[in-house]
Structure 1
Amino acid sequence: MIPEIFEDLCGVAPGAIVASVGGGGLVCGIAEGLDKVGWSQVPIVAVETKGADSFRASINANKQVTLPTITSIAAALAVRKVCTKILELYKTRPIFSVVLSDKLAVDACVRFSEDQRALVEPACGASLAAVYGARTTEMRKHGRLPADKPIVVIVCGGSAASIKQLEEWQEAVQRNGCPSPERDHTGID
């Protein structure tokens, strides 16, 4: 995937790669690909939803943590424990952890379906929410990401998505009282 991005960007490094984190394998693969094309210092923005945030919990504990349960609707992120490799990478390269609500992830799924006419699951919606919302803008403002380079979002995870399922996810986040975007208190680490 990274070699294709390298080719598409004519070898010019992006400001960041944004991807969702479940068990950590995708982020580890992205890091390996970045190394292969000479982009080791390109930041990776690793996005999770609250209730499936085993990466953030492990960062906070400074060790691998197993979540007692998964409460997020982002089923593809429903991994109670991340791999140790992602924790090793976090200590040696620019990886930023972002945790967002299910509501923001689902809202991003809806917006993406309107913008691109393609359906994605909330796991992917989490990454899209980081870009549609203010998270990457905040990171640029605070110097964590370069302001003058494109941000690449890894958009994957649509096999379980349908219009009916998207409506059910919207109903679920409303029923569960997820915070609105204005009150979403999770952030960037």
Structure 2
Amino acid sequence: MYAHTQPPTSSDMNTGEVQPEDLWTETPLVYSSHISDIIGCSAYLKLENLQLSQSFKYRGISKFAQQCREKHGPSVHLMIASGGNAGLAAAVAGRVLGVKCTVFLPMNVSTDTQEALRKQGAELIMIGEVYSETLVALRDAVKKDINGVLVPAYDSPVLWDGHSSMVTEMQKQLPIQPDAIFCSVGGGGLIGGIIQGCKNVGWDEVPIVALETTGSNCFYNAIAINTQHFTSKVPSIPSIEAEDSSPYTIEIVDKDNVAIPYMKELKSRAASLGASSPASGVVRMALDRAGGVRCVCIPDEMAMYTARLFADDHKMLTELACSTTLTPGYNHEFLLHILGPKFSALSAEERKKKRFVFVVCGGIKISFEDIREFDEIVAAAQAEGCWSVQIDGKDIQVPKQ
């Protein structure tokens, strides 16, 4: 079902009639016969690409923006640093709420993304070679603007609370609780919302599978660091700093009692997963979660291959951050490795009773031209017969299907 398909207006806000949940869309949870046939289980797609800004980010960011307007009034100035999707969510929220929004972008953001932001009325400032430099510029600018409020892209309990609403919807839309939820992870905003949402509806024991691309796996590294490379059931802060040869540096965040890696370089085409470090609060939530979080890394080419398959089957374009989530649905053996020996030991009839949710997180950074380029890249990679993936500290070769 769909709900709230017509966005509220700023005049609605003035009457006090709009609630936070009225800002975003209740997205459908649809059964995928294509993926279900491949994996031998019931696969459901939570279509967050149908939000007003075309990604899940609109949930939490619109809630944050609304709270800013309520606190500071209509003169509030929303200011955010983004590679695209978080900025678009803030821009749409700003238009709906009738407040000013400025988006700080790295210099390499595409003209298509810039145009999408301008169409929502956002002012753009292009600065910095990478997101971390753009964020520094934003922080300086906010200090100089009397009405400016820094809108976080992923690191805020308000955002996680807004994102958690998708799990509340899932509970209403599924006949029984799922046997696993699959999502992509960058800085941790989405998985933070899912963890909190599961807690809200009593799904703490439902496994969550967090997928990243190998060149942007800051969350994977964070969990590895705090669990002695996935070997300890009792999380602990490492006693030594990362070596010079490590792809990251380490910072101890006392308030959450975790060690956080800062990636020295991001090497993935999945730009929406390109946070150099994860939110420490989300890392803490994942470490403490009763049902745990399974951490998985895949190569870009595997996500590219899946993006093409999903487009053919479901007639939807998904950027790499989104197709990363869907890769276990298009490779049965990969799914078996992720879920482990207990699942592998089930009979075919027992597996048919399992229900999995794949969060189609959305995103605007994809085009037909990108898909054609992906085809060429994947074709060049087909000489090797297996995908190299990492699952909770183990390197595994998965046959290409």
Q: Does 1:60 align with 2:60?
A: no
Q: Does 1:97 align with 2:300?
A: no
Within a 5 Å distance, the mapping from 1:19-38 to structure 2 comes to 19-38=183-202
CA distance in 2, matches of 1:179, 1:3: 44
Counterpart for residue 15 of structure 1: 179
The 8 Å contact of residues 14 and 150 in structure 1, kept in 2 or not, is answered as: yes
Letter in 1 for 2:305: D
User: RMSD value over aligned CA atoms?
Assistant: 2.2
- Runs (5+) with no aligned partner, structure 2: 1-165, 227-258, 393-401
Within a 5 Å distance, the mapping from 1:1-189 to structure 2 comes to 1-10=166-175, 12-62=176-226, 63-93=259-289, 94-133=292-331, 134-143=333-342, 147=351, 148-172=353-377, 180=384, 182-189=385-392
CA distance in 1, matches of 2:330, 2:379: 20
**Offset at residue 151 of structure 1 (A):** 0.8
Letter in 2 for 1:100: I
TM, length-normalised to structure 2: 0.44
**Offset at residue 130 of structure 1 (A):** 2.4
Q: Tell which deviates more after alignment, 164-173 or 98-107.
A: 164-173
Identity %: 31
Deviations 1:26-65 (A, max 9, x none): 0000011111111111111000001000111122222210
Aligned pairs, number: 186
**Offset at residue 168 of structure 1 (A):** 2.5
CA distance in 2, matches of 1:183, 1:33: 35
CA distance in 1, matches of 2:383, 2:220: 19
Give the 3-state SS of the residue equivalent to 1:185 in structure 2.
Answer: strand
User: Using a 3 Å threshold, how does the CA distance of structure 1 residues 169 and 75 change in structure 2: closer, same or farther?
Assistant: farther
- Tell me which protein shows more strand as a share of its residues: 2
Give the 3-state SS of the residue equivalent to 1:18 in structure 2.
Answer: strand
The 8 Å contact of residues 294 and 338 in structure 2, kept in 1 or not, is answered as: no
TM, length-normalised to structure 1: 0.89
Give the 3-state SS of the residue equivalent to 1:80 in structure 2.
Answer: coil
**Offset at residue 82 of structure 1 (A):** 0.6
**Offset at residue 105 of structure 1 (A):** 0.3
Bigger radius of gyration, 1 or 2? 2
CA distance in 1, matches of 2:201, 2:383: 40
CA distance in 2, matches of 1:178, 1:115: 21
CA distance in 1, matches of 2:215, 2:172: 36
The list of structure 1 runs, each at least 4 consecutive aligned residues, that deviate by more than 6 angstroms after superposition, is none
Give the 3-state SS of the residue equivalent to 1:118 in structure 2.
Answer: coil
